[in-house]
Amino acid sequence: MAEAQVHDDPDVPKGRKAFVPLENNPEVMSSLVHKLGLSPTLSFHDVFSIEDPDLLSFIPRPANALLLVFPVSKSYENFRVQEDRSKAEYEGKGAGEPVIWYKQTIRNACGLIGILHAVSNGTSREFIQPGSDLEKLVQDATPLGPIERADLLYNSQALETAHQSAASQGQSATPDAEDNIDLHYVCFVKDEKNHLWEMDGRRKGPLDRGLLREEEDVLSEKALDMGPRQFIKREAETAGGELRFSLIALAPSLD
């Protein structure tokens, strides 16, 4: 499993706090965000296909956020390093920030960071319940720079308690917090000015992937072309590319 250390999060050293990884399961993710204080009128849903309109039609719309889950490949790492090489470290903060971005400093927490990106941005924020732990977390995070914001998550007992509760609910055997996990989560969200953002706690900051129309959500054809399909195309064209992936949408609940 030597490669898995790189895959999980090369930016988080072993001496840092580690969480039990979340299962890649919409019910587990929904339980976590509802416990934190997201309205139960939003939930996570498996997206079984982004090419078959009939399967895509099962997802309630509009979709507020989209998680792309995949084992990190050598080709992805090469692309990440190349794209980030010319970028400065992100320093955004405050109410004028187009999106709230969280740098990952907790080992095995990429699922949690992806979920927080989903619920902290775009129209999802309208569904945060007043007085909840999630409302306090987002309010406290907003004025902070990326390092201080990461420390806020690192030291949040409410976040750790909710994560532990959700991590114990999965259907598969629960891994140890110190295990090396190779699944990674990237989140796509749409801001109030209709820009599509790629949110990844392993990067130098949020990535603006382009402009959508007001009526286009993160599962629209244009958003899929600018986001997940770019990843799939890149991996398909690379020898040894990683074609195992899954997609999970944050969208209106079915019940």
Q: Where are the beta strands (DSSP E) in the chain?
A: 42-47, 65-71, 183-190, 195-199, 207-211, 246-252
Q: Is the dihedral of CA 121, 243, 89, 197 positive or negative?
A: negative
Asked if residues 157 and 170 have their Cβ atoms less than 8 Å apart, the reply is: no
CA gyration radius for the chain? 17
Asked if residues 238 and 75 have their Cβ atoms less than 8 Å apart, the reply is: yes
Which residues are bridge partners to 198 per DSSP?
Answer: 188, 207
Q: CA triplet 56, 33, 19: central angle to 5 degrees? A: 110
Q: Active-site residue among 7, 45, 110, 117?
A: 110
Give the separation between CA 24 and CA 246, rounded to whole angstroms.
9
Asked if residues 175 and 23 have their Cβ atoms less than 8 Å apart, the reply is: no
Two tokens, residue 49: 């296909």
Other residues' Cβ atoms within 10 Å of the Cβ of residue 181: 24
Active site residue 110: yes
Q: Active-site residue among 34, 45, 163, 184?
A: 184
Note the residue count of the chain.
255
Asked if residues 93 and 149 have their Cβ atoms less than 8 Å apart, the reply is: yes
Active site residue 184: yes
Task: Give the residue numbers annotated as catalytic, written as ranges.
Answer: 110, 184
